[in-house]
Structure 1
Amino acid sequence: MRRWATLVAAALVGSMLPVGTAQAAKAPPSPVTALKRHFTEHVGLRISDVGRVYKDGKAVVTIWRRGKVEFDASGVYATDTTGRTEAGRGAVKEFENLTGQNVGSTRVICFPNEAYLSGPGYETWLPEGKHWLGLIGPENIKQTATFPQIVNVFEPATLGTLLSHAAVKRRLASGTYLQGAVTLRTLYKVSPSLRDRLAGPPKGKSARIPVGFRLWLDRSNLVRRLTTTWKQPAGKTPTTTVADTRYTSWGSDVTLTPPPPEDTADAGRVGGDFSPPPTLPIG
């Protein structure tokens, strides 16, 4: 009788626990599963990047970028990012201060088979009254989903590869921290976007280049931050590229649309009179 009463009491106590308590007791899904659960139409997040290329210890190229990513059932569907690129470090701001001119930023909106560009450098391609240059090419979305970051954590296989190559793993109050390195050859095998960015399969010493990474996950095992560091042979003086990407607002409503047709000039197919997106000179 006492045992029966104890079981009933336990059942009553369990039924009165807040729903949040029961959910908290469940372990979060794996990072790859957590990512895939966001592969839904009109769902996305915000990203922000800072990428720098160093030579002889000095930044020779700096890239800033921020914007939105929209998913569909297969992964990244569209991106809308605004960024700036400058030679050196602080050169653009110095120029603006000296001339009083605002250099401005470049905005890129990408879909699986089309991209739209607006900003400095594209004015010569645009007729009067147009502000957007439209391009056609299936590689556009893969090129811009991660640049300047070399690692695409929106690819489940790529994210899984990082997790399997983590030499350091620490639990934090905010989630999990991982650190490790993966070779360029390994990344090339698992990452479709990297294969599109490179001029060809990395060979010899290039294939063995380690890409060091530090990865932060939140309590739900979603990626919050990724930094990567890798050296690239460039004559007698190699360059070191460091990229730092933040991922916020996971699960937010994102619906990206092309600019108005009346404000767009069609540049035709990529590879005609307009150069294709640049590839990383590795190999």
Structure 2
Amino acid sequence: MRRTTAVLTGAAVAALAIPLLVAAPANAADPVAALKGQFRTGYGVKITERAKLVGDGGNPRTVYGRVKGVLEFGPSGVVASDLTSSFELPASEGRAPEPFAPSRTVTVKGTSYTQGGVYAGALPEGKKWLRGRDDALAMVNPAQKLFDPLEPATLRAALARATSARPGGTLDGTRTVVRSGSLTLGELYRISPTARAVLGSKPSAKSAPLRVSWRLYLGADQLPRRVVSSYVQSVRGLTSVDVTYLNDTEYGGWGVRSAIKAPPAAEVADFDELKIGDTDPGNPGLNLFLD
């Protein structure tokens, strides 16, 4: 699977205003209607994402990825983001290699600007940000979320197939109900722009039937407060490992005021301006599991 774009690999939010919850429709028994009620320009939601990639072979290893920041909405959904990311490697690996360095990514109008991470040391003098090109900007955890409850079509499809519901405790100051179920990789690729970005290409005939299990915590206002998703993929033949991808994302501060802007043009470099040597950082996240 290809790495995804830097839109999901970035970093901390500049000062955020006190959250102002945008009122959901009066009869918002429908989570999809409640979600669409939040799609207003200049408002957003805070997220905290924890991703874990676990190799189950004879020498099990785990890579942890963390993302924190804000997603900003427009009339049709998420239009901008300001996110920080960091990684934790197995203790036996020692100091994290450069591609795992913390990074911040601001995404505005479909363009991502990354600070830190893989190419931080290759920026020209006076430049602080690298403008996105394809998916080459930053090291990302392959366990980032495939199941995105902020997409109305994905949320609708998931809830239509939910197999259970139970109390989920209190999150973000509201009591929650947990709905759970599963979708296949093939279904998610067809329905979800996020899944298509993460996967990079259509799942193979072997991978498409893999089931992505999910648990969705909905608040009293029917808005997502947490989603946990996971799936297991065998890479035996390539290596002796089965890999488990686990993602746990929390959403809070619905209705936070947000005005994310691109960095100053004078501080931005493009990919062809980088001073890159002969060494390719490659994909150490995957190599950790290739024995």
Verify same fold: TM over 0.5: yes
How far has the Cα of 1:27 moved from its partner?
4.6
Q: Residue 126 of structure 2 corresponds to which residue in structure 1?
A: 129
Matches within 5 A, 1:41-52: 41-52=41-52
Q: Residue 103 of structure 2 corresponds to which residue in structure 1?
A: 106
Q: Residue 224 of structure 2 corresponds to which residue in structure 1?
A: 223
Secondary structure of residue in 2 paired with 1:262: helix
1: distance between equivalents of 2:262 and 2:143? Answer: 20
Secondary structure of residue in 2 paired with 1:70: strand
Kindly provide the amino acid, as one letter, of the partner of residue 225 in structure 1. R
Contact 1:28 1:219 in 2 (8 A): no
How far has the Cα of 1:147 moved from its partner?
7.3
Contact 1:134 1:268 in 2 (8 A): no
Given candidates 245, 250, 253, the residue that maps to 1:246 is: 250
2: distance between equivalents of 1:68 and 1:55? Answer: 30
Contact 1:78 1:111 in 2 (8 A): yes
Q: Residue 256 of structure 1 corresponds to which residue in structure 2?
A: 260
Provide the aligned C-alpha RMSD in A. Answer: 3.0
1: distance between equivalents of 2:124 and 2:143? Answer: 28
Secondary structure of residue in 1 paired with 2:182: strand
How far has the Cα of 1:202 moved from its partner?
1.8
Structure 2: segments with no counterpart, 5+ residues: 1-22, 170-174, 274-279, 287-291
Structure 1 residues 119-151: Cα deviation after superposition (integer angstroms, max 9, x where no partner): 1322233112221111256x89xxx9x971111
Q: Residue 181 of structure 2 corresponds to which residue in structure 1?
A: 180
How far has the Cα of 1:59 moved from its partner?
4.0
1: distance between equivalents of 2:224 and 2:52? Answer: 21
Matches within 5 A, 1:149-160: 149-160=145-156
1: distance between equivalents of 2:203 and 2:101? Answer: 35
The answer to whether the aligner puts 1:189 opposite 2:186 as a matched pair is no
Contact 2:87 2:101 in 1 (8 A): no
1: distance between equivalents of 2:61 and 2:155? Answer: 28
The answer to whether the aligner puts 1:79 opposite 2:81 as a matched pair is yes
Moved more, 42-51 or 181-190: 181-190
Structure 1: segments with no counterpart, 5+ residues: 1-22, 97-102, 270-274
Q: Residue 115 of structure 1 corresponds to which residue in structure 2?
A: 112
Q: Which one has a bigger Cα radius of gyration?
A: 1
Question: Residues 221, 184 of structure 1: CA spacing in aligned structure 2 closer, same or farther, 3 A cutoff?
Answer: same
Question: Residues 245, 167 of structure 1: CA spacing in aligned structure 2 closer, same or farther, 3 A cutoff?
Answer: same
Question: Residues 55, 33 of structure 1: CA spacing in aligned structure 2 closer, same or farther, 3 A cutoff?
Answer: same
Contact 1:35 1:156 in 2 (8 A): yes
Higher helix share: 1
Contact 2:147 2:214 in 1 (8 A): no
How far has the Cα of 1:40 moved from its partner?
1.1
With structure 2 as the length reference, what TM-score do the two structures score? 0.72
Matches within 5 A, 1:4-23: none
2: distance between equivalents of 1:256 and 1:268? Answer: 26
How far has the Cα of 1:184 moved from its partner?
1.1
With structure 1 as the length reference, what TM-score do the two structures score? 0.74
Identity of aligned residues (%): 30
2: distance between equivalents of 1:148 and 1:268? Answer: 28
2: distance between equivalents of 1:74 and 1:150? Answer: 19
